[in-house]
């Protein structure tokens, strides 16, 4: 039996973000979805539960609308979902996020394993997992590309730049997974219908003994500027020409650009 908490962010769908002519990203109207790799974390949790039994709780610190995203995780196999409402509209840093997540985890009761993604698709800091493990005083295993349980310990293969490293650690522990660990299931219609009956809890910061002010105090990171990358590519695309001709045209353009033979 293994009791798992999956931390999932209701992130901006980055593919939908446009840059306005002044170079500012436009976030208004951009849809949100559960961050990609957090679905890999969910799938990993379901695989462990299928093998060893236990429970899976999904946890998100985010807007009230995160409930819509968490429904997908319930359909994938979580037993319960929890949203801690962020009153700041996503303006807090990872230290504040972890403050909220840790308080929620304390209130949720005991656990064996916390699963996170390696990084979120929008913020992409990779900080929340290691910070949370540090805050809870439990060991961390990051960049896991495989995960199993052996005699009550977690065994994971970590994917680092220079090596694959297999580690073993007792529980409770926190593991962050890579997107290569598995292919997240797409829930069936049946599973989606069933999920609507599973418990979904919403907490305000006050329910956890926290407040907006307290989180703002912890959050010492300030964002002073956001700048979109201006698209300055020439976009001269050769279509529907015989290969030889297309290639000749490309080569003469590259010669003009003086990027050959440098």
Phi first, then psi, for residue 250 (nearest 5°) are -60, -45
Site for another protein in 185-224 (CB under 8 A): 218-224
Least Cβ distance, residue 98 to another protein (angstroms): 7
In the window 101-130, what residues touch another protein (CB under 8 A)? 118-119, 121-130
Strand 18-19 and strand 25-26: the pairing is antiparallel
Closest distance to ligand AMP from the beta carbon of 164 (Å): 21
Q: At what angle do helices 36-52 and 66-76 cross, to 10 degrees?
A: 40
Nearer to another protein, 160 or 189 (CB): 160
Residues recorded for the chain: 262
Residues that bind ligand FAD (CB under 6 A): 36-37, 119, 121, 179
233 binds, among ligand FAD, another protein, ligand AMP, none (CB under 5 to 8 A by kind): another protein
Residues 92-121, interacting with ligand AMP (CB under 6 A) = 94, 97, 101, 116-117, 119-120
The answer for residues whose C-beta is within 8 angstroms of residue 86's C-beta and 6 or more apart is: 61, 62, 63, 92, 100
Q: Which helix (H) or strand (E) holds 217?
A: helix 212-218
State yes or no: residue 175 binds ligand AMP (CB under 6 A): no
Q: Tell whether residue 40 is a contact of ligand AMP (CB under 6 A).
A: no
Measured distance CA(75)–CA(198) in Å, rounded = 9
Q: Does 35 bind ligand AMP (CB under 6 A)?
A: yes
* From candidates 110, 151, 163, 197, binder to another protein by CB under 8 A: 163
């Amino acid at each position: 039996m293994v009791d798992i908490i999956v931390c999932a962010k209701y992130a901006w769908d980055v593919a939908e973000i446009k840059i306005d002519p002044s170079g500012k990203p436009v976030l208004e109207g951009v849809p949100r979805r559960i961050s990609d790799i957090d679905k890999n974390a969910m799938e990993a949790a379901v695989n462990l539960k299928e093998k060893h039994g236990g429970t899976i709780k999904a946890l998100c610190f985010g807007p009230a609308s995160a409930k819509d995203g968490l429904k997908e995780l319930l359909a994938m196999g979580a037993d319960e979902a929890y949203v801690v409402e962020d009153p700041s509209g996503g303006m807090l840093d990872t230290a504040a996020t972890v403050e909220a997540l840790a308080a929620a985890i304390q209130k949720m009761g005991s656990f064996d394993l916390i699963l996170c993604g390696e990084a979120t698709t929008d913020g992409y800091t990779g900080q929340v997992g290691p910070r949370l493990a540090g805050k809870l005083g439990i060991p961390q295993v990051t960049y896991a590309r495989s995960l199993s349980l052996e005699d009550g310990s977690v065994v994971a293969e970590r994917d680092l730049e220079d090596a694959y490293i297999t580690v073993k650690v007792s529980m409770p522990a926190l593991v962050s997974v890579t997107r290569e660990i598995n292919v997240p299931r797409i829930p069936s219609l049946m599973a989606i219908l069933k999920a609507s009956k599973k418990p979904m809890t919403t907490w305000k910061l006050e329910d956890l003994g926290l407040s907006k002010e307290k989180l703002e105090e912890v959050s010492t990171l300030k964002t002073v500027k956001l700048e979109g990358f201006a698209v300055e590519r020439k976009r001269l695309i050769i279509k529907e020409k015989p290969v030889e001709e297309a290639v000749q045209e490309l080569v003469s353009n590259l010669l003009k650009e003086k990027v050959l033979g440098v």
